[in-house]
Structures are given as structure tokens and as C-alpha cells.
Amino acid sequence: MAKSSSDRLVEALPWLDSLASALQKAYTPVLGPSGNPRVKDALYGTWLGHPLHPALVSMPIGFWTCTAVFDLLGQEKGADLTLRLGLLTSVGAAATGAAQWQDTQELDTPRKLGALHGSLNLTAAALYGMSWWLRSRGSRKAGIVVALGGFGMVNFSGWLGGALAFDLGIGVNRTAFAEPLADWIEVLDDDKVAEGGTARVEAQGVPILLSRQDGTLCAIAATCTHLGGPLDEGAFEGHTVKCPWHGSTFDMRDGAVVHGPATVPQPCFSVRVKKGRIAVRSGE
């Protein structure tokens, strides 16, 4: 089978493994399992219902594109302003990107490609910082040349970001393509799910997590929307389940995200019991 451009690039740069390990060690105190959940949720975009990183990366790229245009037109004030705005907004883009990348450690190609992506962005930001310094010292032509180097680098890194999202599925809802269950499908005997208990079942190939809390049966997708972890193997506490892979926590009653890194709720299914058999279907 032909290899993707992502795989070929990773294989051509064996030093990416060491780079990824160094970055993971640096990020772990803030973004690792012991990091502040509120900080991580803010960076993931859990509050937004969408990964925050893609929404922020357009800002520095857009500002620096304007810098290149203003430099070409000789508009010095506009070029300098947009360069500085690009540097300012790149901080948020870098922080949210690090948060999203931290959870790819078990995925070899995304881990290494993401490390390259982030490092190129940081290098591009450093080049723009140098350009700002050169301009402030009167070396505008040199500053423009350095900025163009940063512009080329950040755009190549943007291509890598596209590969991470669209080729490798990082940040993509892992339940998005499951077929809806239009009809009631019997999955299990009612007495197999005790009060406070759970069970994993399948309906037309869709993994479902059943739970009974306060006498009520609930059903959500058993595949974590974040990176596909098996929720039935997670930690259960009250009405919540915590994914065993990256710690995303969901309310089993309605699939709502309690804590990230997940930003998309779990699909929720209607449940009924008829003649001692549990049946599920999509929708309310």
C-alpha cells in the first residue's frame, strides 16, 4: 500500500522522535494528567464545543500575510503593525496547539508530525521577532527578508497542520460517520444491567455504552469523540464516565462533555425496554 506524504516525511526525519519526547516533557506539568483541568479545558476549546486551535491559527497567518503585502507596497506602518499583531496572536495559537498535540503520544505519526508542526511555528515566530528587532534598528530590508523566511515557514507548517487534521484525523469527531439507528434495535436483556451498572453492546456495528442510574437506562456512544477511546473501559463516577485514554469526561445521561480534551458531546440514544429486552435507536 502506498504511504501517505505524512508517513514519508516522518520516516525521512528520524530525529523527530527525540524532538517529540522533549516537547512532551516540557508540556506535561501544565498539559499532562496532573495539569489544571480548567486550564486544559480552556485551551482545548471544551467551552466552545469545537477545538480552539484551528480557530486561532488563522489570526497570525492572516496578520503575517498582511505584513508581506504591506512590505511589498511599501506601507511601513501597516507592515510593522500586522507583524506585531501576528506575534501577539501566535501565543494563543501555540498554546492551544500544544494542548491538542499533547494527547497524540500513543499515535506515532501524529506525535512526530505535530512536533515538527509546532517547532516550525515557533521558529517562524522567532524569525518575525528578529524581523521586528531589525526594523526597529533601521535595517528594514534585512527585516523584510527575515519576515519572508518566516512567512514561508509558517505556511509550510500550516500544510502540516492540514495533514494532521484531514489525513490523520486529529481534532476530528471520531463518531461523526456512524450510521444513525433509524429503528429500534434490541441489544441486551434488561436484567443484564443492574442499578449503577454499565454494559457495552453493539447495534448495527455501532458500539454503545448502556448505564442504569436511579432506575433509568441511558445509552451513549461507547467510542470517545476525542480520539476513539473505549468508554466502557473508563472510570465511572455517579452519572459520569472518564475515557481511559486521555481523560475526557462525559455525562452518561445526555452525552454532554464535563471535561476535555473532548469538545464534542457523545451521541446519545433513546432507550426502551419491551418484554424484558433493551432496545435502542438514534434520537430522542
227 and 87 in a single domain? The answer is no
Question: Residue 184 burial by CB count (10 A; 0-12/13-18/19+): exposed, middle or buried?
Answer: middle
- Looking at the structure, tell me whether residues 198 and 163 fall in a common domain: no
Q: Is residue 112 part of a domain?
A: yes
Ramachandran category for residue 138: left, alpha or beta (phi over 0 → left; psi -120 to 50 → alpha): left
Can the peptide bond before residue 261 be classed as cis, meaning omega within 30 degrees of 0?
yes
Say yes or no: 132 and 213 in one domain: no
Q: What's the CATH number where 197 sits? A: 2.102.10.10
Residue 81 belongs to a domain: yes
What is the domain range of residue 100?
5-167
Task: Indicate if the pLDDT at residue 129 is higher than 90.
Answer: yes
Shared domain check, 255 and 209: yes
Helix (H) or strand (E) holding 237: strand 235-237
The percentage of the chain sitting over the pLDDT mark of 90, rounded to a whole number, equals 83
Handedness of CA 270, 282, 177, 263 (dihedral sign): negative
Residues 199 and 59 grouped into a single domain? no
Domain end point (choices 167, 193, 209): 167
Task: Confirm whether 133 is domain-assigned.
Answer: yes
Helix (H, G, I), strand (E, B) or coil at 60: helix
84 contacts: CB under 8 Å, gap ≥ 6: 132
C-beta pairs of 11-17 under 8 Å, 24+ apart in sequence: 13/112, 13/116, 16/112, 16/113, 16/115, 16/116, 17/112
CA dist 224 and 226 (Å) reads: 5
> Are both 155 and 222 inside the same structural domain?
no
pLDDT tens digits, 217-249: 999 999 999 999 999 999 999 899 999 999 999
Could you tell me if 73 and 208 lie in one domain?
no
- pLDDT tens, residue by residue, 135-189: 999 999 999 999 999 999 999 999 999 999 988 989 899 999 888 999 999 999 9
Quote the number of domains for the chain. 2
Domain check: are 152 and 215 in the same one? no
Place of cell 519576515: 147
